Structure 1
Amino acid sequence: MNSSAALIINPSSGSFSKKRMDQAIKLIEGRFKRVDACYTRGKGDGERLAQNLVRVGYDIIFVVGGDGTFNEVANGAAFSDIPIGFIPSGTTNVLTKELGIPNDIYGATFRILSGTERYISLGRMNRKYFICMAGIGFDAEAVFRVNPFIKRLSGRGAHIVSGLSVLLRYNPSNLSITIDGRAYQGTNLIVCNGRLYAGNYTVCPEADIERGSLQVFILHGTGRKDLMRCIYHVVNGTLKKMKGATLATGRNISISGRTHIQADGEFIGFSPAEISIRERALKILS
């Protein structure tokens, strides 16, 4: 029996179930001599709690929440070599879908406890790590303008409402982009460490969370019609056929120009941005 496990739990996440959480904790307590649980109350708590738990030196840290909570914990536990088990209870749960983990607190816990350790890469944008993806431009502004009250009521519906609002006043910035020394111009970017985007959609089909490189989608067009065409192709899985866009792969990306930026669905500020890949940055159980 392993000696110690800690849980970081976001009870406000979109699909959290106390009943399933209690069942999962009992399952964990059957495998560890010491189990401690701590709860997030606001933005940034996941990172601070992870840093504290890493200093204590637990054998494993379980994280219960959505992609925003997962991102915070990754920022607090990167390069610690303590395995992290991601348990989904959020709105879209992109990371756990990427890892093939069941979309249920108890089922995910059971899977992780019988899983194997492996390392994944993390992207780094300015001073923040991201696990799955970073967005620059339209989707980041849509994240920025999400109404928290509507999100609590409708989950993903809040993102749709925000996206439509941003689309109506769409006025993109022109961005200068360099990927491993290659120069591009564009208005919107999605930088992918993983294959999935916003749930079950795919923007960068060759991205691999273990590979050690980033795949970048660049939209070149400046008009609302260009963006709507892009959204159409994303929803229908035909992005490879789209004209006026580029897919590129690289390890170091520079973006000049001012626009909104987000990481794993959380707004983090404005460009310019420096993005890179950090290999074997996080040990996970899946």
Structure 2
Amino acid sequence: MKFCLIYNKNSAGGRKSKFIKKIYDEIKINHEIDLFETTSIIEASEIIKNINKNNYKRLILAGGDGSVSFAINELIKNDIKFEDDFAIGYIPAGTANILQAELGMTKNIKKIAKTLTSNNLSKTNLVKINDRYFVLMAGIGWDAQIVQSIDTKIKKILGKVIFGLKGFEKFLLMKNDKIKVSINNEEILADWILCSNSRYYAGHHKITDTNIFEEKFTTYIFKDLKRMKLLYYIYLIIRYGNLEKSKSVITKNISELKMDGLNKQIPIQIDGDNFGSSNKIIITSSDKKINLLKAA
């Protein structure tokens, strides 16, 4: 079996190089594997385009959650066809690493290598947002403001700390534009929408009972986001692992929702990365699936 390992050196400021190399060496003992260290999406995109041409059966991505999201979208965009046993593997080398929790991965080198060389794979549910797909979550509004305000150079140095600092800044200077949310025949004015395909959010904090392998996603609609309410929401996540006890948060398990910025551009983040802004957003279930390797 032939492996392609792409290491996004921009993740975690490139501090995981030795860790990645040890996993590479472990896999290399019994398998053919090529290691590519990339510093731009252009480099990574070219490698992914040639996955089939080079007969790779495993695409291993070392980086953050966004690295996996990017690769999956590149595979779909280029309409790459692969065999049923093709799978994506993940090495947690980013900031939040929510996917690490979803896949049951540890940071033990031998255990990671064992998972990546196994056949323990499952098809992940992919959710479509406009012309892209996400694996974990999409945030429209408040949390996307935080993601978009972070300088990538500073993120490399400070890691998770910068999310805390910027989150506190946006908490103090909270300013939300209303978003019109349309679900079936219902319309709701909201300050923030969070669509979660993952059990976890903001690190390894449980937020819902779904997971990336189930064919559904949970949508939280925050009608009136204020500082004190946000603190209450954080308490609910830490204490109960969901937001169901809040009367000001609408929870929906639906297959489609539409959002309108009411003539304003709405900031968006998908899988923890900046997805720009748009005044029209459609999120829907999709029939796209891809195999992910997970810990036994």
**Quick check: TM above 0.5?**
yes
User: Percent identical across equivalent pairs?
Assistant: 25
The secondary structure found in structure 2 opposite 1:122 is: strand
Q: Which residue of 1 aligns with 2:214?
A: 211
Q: Structure 1 stretch 8-17 or stretch 141-150: which is displaced more?
A: 8-17
* Cα distance in 1 for residues equivalent to 2:166 and 2:25: 39
Change (3 A) 1:278 1:64: same
Q: Does 1:111 align with 2:115?
A: yes
The one-character-per-residue Cα deviations of 1:28-54 (angstroms, maximum 9, x if unpaired) are: 22332x322212212464444323324
1:54–1:77 CA contact under 8 A, matched in 2: no
Deviation at 1:223? 3.1
**Matching residue's letter, 2:285:** I
Change (3 A) 1:53 1:270: same
The one-character-per-residue Cα deviations of 1:254-281 (angstroms, maximum 9, x if unpaired) are: 1111321000000111132111122452
Residues 94-173 of structure 1 correspond to what in structure 2 (within 5 A)?
Answer: 94-173=98-177
Deviation at 1:193? 0.9
Task: Spell out structure 1 runs of 4+ moving beyond 4 A.
Answer: none
Change (3 A) 1:44 1:189: farther
Paired residue for 1:72, among 62, 70, 89?
70
Q: Structure 1 stretch 124-133 or stretch 230-239: which is displaced more?
A: 230-239
1:212–1:251 CA contact under 8 A, matched in 2: no
Q: Does 1:259 align with 2:266?
A: yes
* Cα distance in 1 for residues equivalent to 2:123 and 2:30: 23
Deviation at 1:228? 3.4
RMSD: 2.2
* Cα distance in 2 for residues equivalent to 1:134 and 1:118: 22
* Cα distance in 1 for residues equivalent to 2:245 and 2:145: 26
State the TM-score, normalized to the length of structure 1. Answer: 0.89
**Matching residue's letter, 1:224:** R
Q: Does 1:227 align with 2:230?
A: yes
Q: Structure 1 stretch 267-276 or stretch 22-31: which is displaced more?
A: 22-31
* Cα distance in 1 for residues equivalent to 2:182 and 2:107: 37
* Cα distance in 1 for residues equivalent to 2:43 and 2:193: 28
State the TM-score, normalized to the length of structure 2. Answer: 0.86
Change (3 A) 1:243 1:275: same
Q: Which residue of 1 aligns with 2:275?
A: 268
* Cα distance in 1 for residues equivalent to 2:120 and 2:200: 22
Change (3 A) 1:238 1:125: closer
The secondary structure found in structure 2 opposite 1:239 is: coil
The secondary structure found in structure 2 opposite 1:74 is: helix
